[in-house]
Structure 1
C-alpha cells in the first residue's frame, strides 16, 4: 500500500496580465498531491487574470487568489503570499509556466537541504501540449552548490553556453527564511530570485540541485521575464554591493560577487548609454560617456560585442525564442 501524502507545500504564483496561461499553471500545481496551498497574487493586471484564476479552483479549498489594485512587482507579490501562507515549504511557479506531473514528489524524495531545485525545460508556447511526451529523462545526480558556484553560474559569458542557475525554481524551507529574516528584496524587479538565493547561501543555506526535470518554462516572445528596464539593472548591481557591505563573505565569495556586480553594472552602462542616444541623440550619449570615463570600457566593449554576436549561432538554453521547432532545451545539461 502506498503511504498517504501529507500536503505541505505552498505554491506561489505572482501574475500580471496572465489570463491566457494562469489556469494551466494553477491546474498543474493543484494536481500535485504534495500541494497544500496555491496562492495567486494578481499584481495589478488589466485583463481577467484574477477571474480566470478563481475559475481554475478544483474544489479542494487549496486555492487563494488575492489581487493588488496597483502593480507592486514580483518581490512584493511573493512576500505577500509568504505572509498569508501556512505551509512549511514554499515554491514559486511563474504564471506562464507549469509543473510536469510528479515534480514535487521527486524533489521531496531527497533530503539534506534548505533549498532544492530541479532542471528546467524551456518549451516553445506552440509545443506545450506535446511537451510531456518529449521530455528527456535525466538521472537526479544530486549535488550541493555553494555561494561561489551559484554566483559564478549567474554570470553570462558571450559565446559560451549560458547556464544562469538563478532561473531555477527551488522549494524553500520557510523555517530557514524566518530564522535569518530573509524575504524578497522589493526594490528589485530583475534578479529578485538570484538575490534571495545568494543571501540565503551567504547564511550557509544548503542548496541542493538535481538534474531530473519537473519544471516547464514556456517561452513566448511577449514574456515579461525576457524584458527589463535599465533602472532594474542598476538596482540589481546595487543589491550586490549591499550584500558585500552586509557581512564578511570570505575572499572567494566576495570576489565572485564583485565579478557579478561588475557584469551587471557593465550591462547597465551600455543600456544607459543607448537610452541616452535614443532619447537625446548621439551628442547626449557621448557627453555622458566623457563625464563618466570609467563606463567607457563597458560601453565600447558592449557595442563591439553586440555587433560580433550577430554573426554567432545562439547557444543558450535560457529563455530565448525557440522558433516553433518543437525542440526542448534544458538549463542543466552537463
Structure 2
C-alpha cells in the first residue's frame, strides 16, 4: 500500500538532491515526494525535477524567501496528503526496503541510521551492512530525553532519528515544526509528540543513510539557534510528565543551557573583549563553571589531532 509522503527540505543541495529523490521514489510504499527548495541560490529545484521517474508522485516547490528547515518542512506537509510522513534530508538517502520494515500502526516508527562519508556513500552496498535484530523497542519521553544527552560522539543523539510520523496524530494534536527553530527542530517535534502520548517504535535494522559533510547546517550552532532550542526545552517542562521524565528533560536542558552560555560568552569576548566576557561569566556566579568547562573542553579538543573520518558508523549499536 502506498501511504507515505516523503518530505525533503532542500537548500543549495543541487549536488545531492537527485539521489535523495531517487531513493524515495524507488520505495513502493511512497505515494508522494514533496521537495521544498528553501530559496536556494543554485539549481536545487531543477535537479530535483530532473530526478522524477514520471510516475507523477514528485512535487517540487521553490520558496521565494529562505525560511529555514522547519518552515520548509511545514510547507511540504501542507502540500501533501498521504497518511504517513517521512523526513529525508536533502544530503541523505533511503536504503532499499526501508518502509517495508517499519510498523505502519505506530505514531512514530524509526530505524537505525548509517552515517557515511561522501566518498563512501557512492559505493555503499546495503547487503554488506551488518545484520541487526528487527525487534521493535518502544521509546518513551524519558528514554528519548536521556538519549539526547551528549555522550562525546558527534551526531550520536536520538534526535537524529528520522521516524515515519502519523499525520493523524499530528493533526489531532495540532502539531507542526516550530518555525523559530533552525537547530533541533526534529528533537522538539518528537518530544512534544511523546509527551502527548505518541507510540514510538525503534528497530536497529538500518534503513537510512546520512551523509556527513563539513558544511552541515546542524554542525553550525548560532547563538540564536541555541537560544531557540533552550526555550523549547523549557517549554517541554511545562507539559505533563512523570517525575522521572521531568528529571531527564531537566538534565538535557542543563546541557543545552551550558552550550548557550558558552556561545554567549564567546560572542561577548569577540564583540567587547575579555573583560566584558568575564563580567558576563561572573554575573551571576553560577554561570562561571559551565562556561569554564566548555572553554576547557574546546581547548583540549583543539590540541588533539583530528581523527580520520570513519567510512561508516551507526547511530545505534548493531
Q: TM-score range by the shorter chain?
A: over 0.9
Asked if 1:66 is matched to 2:61, the reply is: yes
The 3-state SS of whatever aligns with 1:131 is: coil
5+ residue gaps in structure 2?
A: none
- 2:72 paired residue number: 77
* Mapped partners of 2:155, 2:26: distance in 1: 32
Q: Give the one of 163, 166, 171 matched to 2:164.
A: 171
* Mapped partners of 1:59, 1:162: distance in 2: 36
C-alpha contact (below 8 Å) 2:120/2:312 kept by paired residues:
no
* Mapped partners of 1:30, 1:116: distance in 2: 19
TM-score, normalized by length of structure 2?
0.94
- 1:317 paired residue number: none
C-alpha contact (below 8 Å) 1:100/1:132 kept by paired residues:
no
- 2:290 paired residue number: 298
Deviates more, 1:175-184 or 1:278-287: 278-287
The 3-state SS of whatever aligns with 1:52 is: helix
Shift of 1:311: 6.3
- 2:134 paired residue number: 140
Q: Give the one of 150, 157, 181 matched to 1:156.
A: 150
Residues 10-59 of structure 1 show CA distances to partners (whole Å, capped at 9, x for unaligned) of: 00000000000001100000011111000000011111111111111110
Shift of 1:280: 2.4
The 3-state SS of whatever aligns with 1:130 is: coil
Aligned 1:1-334 pairs, distance under 5 A: 6-107=1-102, 110=103, 112-133=105-126, 134-158=128-152, 163-245=156-238, 247-310=239-302, 323=309, 327-333=311-317
The 3-state SS of whatever aligns with 2:316 is: coil
Shift of 1:252: 1.1
C-alpha contact (below 8 Å) 1:96/1:218 kept by paired residues:
yes
Cα gap change, 1:322 to 1:136, in 2 (>3 Å): farther
Residues 114-152 of structure 1 show CA distances to partners (whole Å, capped at 9, x for unaligned) of: 100000000000111211254222121311011000000
* Mapped partners of 1:312, 1:256: distance in 2: 31
C-alpha root-mean-square deviation of aligned residues, in Å?
A: 1.9
TM-score, normalized by length of structure 1?
0.90
Residues 143-188 of structure 1 show CA distances to partners (whole Å, capped at 9, x for unaligned) of: 1011000000001034x79730110000011011111111111111
Cα gap change, 1:208 to 1:102, in 2 (>3 Å): same
Number of residue equivalences: 317
Residues 71-115 of structure 1 show CA distances to partners (whole Å, capped at 9, x for unaligned) of: 1011111111111211000000000000111111121xx365210
